């Protein structure tokens, strides 16, 4: 992913509205691009930080970034697990149908 692509997706990163592929791309990009990490901090400060300061509640940028990152990683892992479960269920369905067909053939 290029920085320009990341910048387009950055607002959606915080709202958990990226699909799995986009989310994976954003996370991989952030692991290697210091400039975009800084942009992410600035975006977070401008959106969440200002709102929380106005409300009078505390705000820790690093904790917010860590929490957002952990949510994103959790979503990716959950998606993978669900995909694997779906493959196993589909395989089971196929085996069940073949088993029924074989059973009926011997009746």
Q: What is the mean pLDDT of residues 88-102?
A: 94
Distance CA 64, CA 41 (A): 10
pTM (whole model) above 0.85? no
Segments in 1-107 forming alpha helices (H): 3-14, 20-32, 34-44, 50-55, 61-105
**Max Cα distance, the chain (Å):** 76
Three-state secondary structure call for residue 19: coil
The predicted-structure confidence for 52-72, as pLDDT tens digits, reads as follows: 777 777 777 788 888 888 888
Distance CA 28, CA 58 (A): 29
Q: 16-25, 45-54, 85-94 — which is least confidently predicted?
A: 45-54
């Amino acid at each position: 992913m290029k920085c320009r692509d990341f910048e387009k997706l950055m607002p959606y990163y915080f709202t958990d509205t990226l699909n799995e592929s986009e989310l994976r791309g954003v996370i991989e990009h952030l692991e290697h691009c210091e400039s975009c990490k800084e942009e992410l901090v600035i975006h977070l400060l401008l959106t969440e930080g200002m709102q929380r300061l106005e409300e009078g509640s505390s705000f820790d940028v690093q904790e917010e970034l860590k929490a957002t990152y952990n949510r994103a990683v959790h979503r990716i892992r959950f998606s993978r697990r669900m995909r694997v479960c779906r493959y196993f269920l589909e395989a089971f369905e196929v085996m069940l149908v073949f088993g029924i067909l074989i059973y009926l053939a011997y009746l």
